[in-house]
């Protein structure tokens, strides 16, 4: 101590955090580029592979997605991308291909959101929205199973 003033504590930087995290269940990383068409579409430049408890889904290179299909009015609370982006891409793929029932596709969406760290209240609301409003999209895309 000099002149009765305690020395300043040493500044410590917070621990470094990884820039990307490998999410359990995903065997590859999500790599997107803006699609040449509409401004709200994104194209996968590499396949995205998700391994669930019973099934493995491969979203192919070239697949186009709008990420989370949220009306622009609600983007302040539910932007199209965030912790739920991986869930949204797999969900879009399952809706387009009809590989599983709509109910199962929505369940996969919820499980991936929770595993990816989406806040539970937000995951619950987004899940409820796809259950309530996804029926029309499911029907328009001509997916195979009906529920």
Q: Residues 75-92: pLDDT tens digits?
A: 666 666 677 889 999 999
Looking at the chain, the whole-number percentage of residues with pLDDT higher than 90 is 27
**Predicted local confidence at residue 75, as pLDDT:** 61
Rounded Cα–Cα distance for residues 143 and 7 (Å) = 68
Nearest to 137 by CA among 73, 107, 94: 94
Residues 6+ apart with CB under 8 A from 9: none
Helix (H) or strand (E) holding 93: helix 85-97
Q: Are 44 and 30 in contact (CB under 8 A)?
A: yes
Q: Which is higher by pLDDT, 7 or 34?
A: 34
pLDDT at 65 over 80: yes
Q: Which is higher by pLDDT, 120 or 5?
A: 120
Per the domain annotation, does 20 fall within a domain?
no
Per the domain annotation, does 4 fall within a domain?
no
Per the domain annotation, does 133 fall within a domain?
yes
**Predicted local confidence at residue 132, as pLDDT:** 82
Range of the domain at 105: 32-140
Per the domain annotation, does 19 fall within a domain?
no
**Structural domain total, the chain:** 1
**Predicted local confidence at residue 141, as pLDDT:** 63
Q: Residues 107-147: pLDDT tens digits?
A: 999 999 898 888 898 899 889 888 887 777 776 665 444 44
Per the domain annotation, does 88 fall within a domain?
yes
């Amino acid at each position: 101590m000099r002149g009765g003033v305690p020395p300043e504590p040493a500044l410590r930087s917070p621990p470094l955090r990884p820039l990307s995290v490998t999410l359990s269940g995903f065997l590859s990383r999500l790599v997107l580029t803006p699609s040449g068409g509409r401004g709200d579409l994104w194209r996968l430049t590499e396949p995205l592979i998700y391994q669930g408890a019973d099934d493995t889904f491969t979203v192919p290179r070239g697949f186009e997605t709008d990420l989370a299909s949220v009306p622009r009015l609600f983007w302040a609370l539910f932007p199209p991308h965030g912790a739920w982006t991986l869930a949204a891409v797999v969900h879009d793929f399952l809706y387009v291909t009809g590989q599983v029932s709509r109910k199962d596709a929505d369940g996969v969406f919820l499980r991936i959101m929770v595993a990816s760290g989406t806040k539970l209240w937000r995951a619950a609301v987004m899940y409820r929205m796809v259950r309530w409003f996804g029926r029309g999209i499911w029907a328009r895309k001509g997916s195979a199973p009906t529920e």
